[in-house]
Amino acid sequence: MQDMNSLQELFAAASRARENAYAPYSGFKVGAAVRSESGKIYAGCNVENISYPCGTCAEAGAIAAMAAEGDRKIREIAIVAGGSCLITPCGACRQRIKEFGGPDTLIHLAGPQGIEKSVRLADLLPLAFDETELKK
């Protein structure tokens, strides 16, 4: 059983980042927080743009913050959306998580009150494209 305090801490970081989400076009605010293997937490929020495809997801922001500090391994990630909705990462973000995670990396899906469900990356991104494909 995972330490509840550490999960609560991850959720709180994602929620705090969500408050700063810049989502004037969709109105859909998202926060994410990554815990790296070193134990540090990095948070991000979605940042939209008037040129819609330029917008970035909360997960991408959190992963970029981690990489900027030189951390390279994701142990777990929490994603918080609003209302009653639990969201899973988009396809591109699943691949981003895969770059720095592994099949057992935990993805915690949270509503406003806390983490409600945890899934493994391998279950969200089966048959993933990885470096072994490039070597064939």
User: Per the residue annotation, which of 19, 37, 59, 131 is the catalytic one?
Assistant: 59
Candidates 4-12, 69-77, 89-97, 119-127: pick the segment binding ligand THU (CB under 6 A).
89-97
Distance CA 58, CA 65 (A): 11
Distance CA 61, CA 53 (A): 15
Out of 28, 67, 86, 111, point to the residue binding ligand THU (CB under 6 A).
28
Q: Residue 59 catalytic?
A: yes
Candidates 8-16, 85-93, 98-106, 126-134: pick the segment binding ligand THU (CB under 6 A).
85-93
Residue 36 binding ligand THU, by CB under 6 A: no
22 or 38: CB nearest ligand THU? 22
Candidates 21-29, 101-109, 111-119, 128-136: pick the segment binding ligand THU (CB under 6 A).
21-29
Please report where in the chains the tokens 């993805």 appear, as a residue: 107
Out of 15, 36, 46, 105, point to the residue binding ligand THU (CB under 6 A).
46
Residues 6+ apart with CB under 8 A from 105: 74, 75, 76, 77, 97, 120, 121
Residue 33 binding ligand THU, by CB under 6 A: no
**Residues with a known catalytic role:** 59
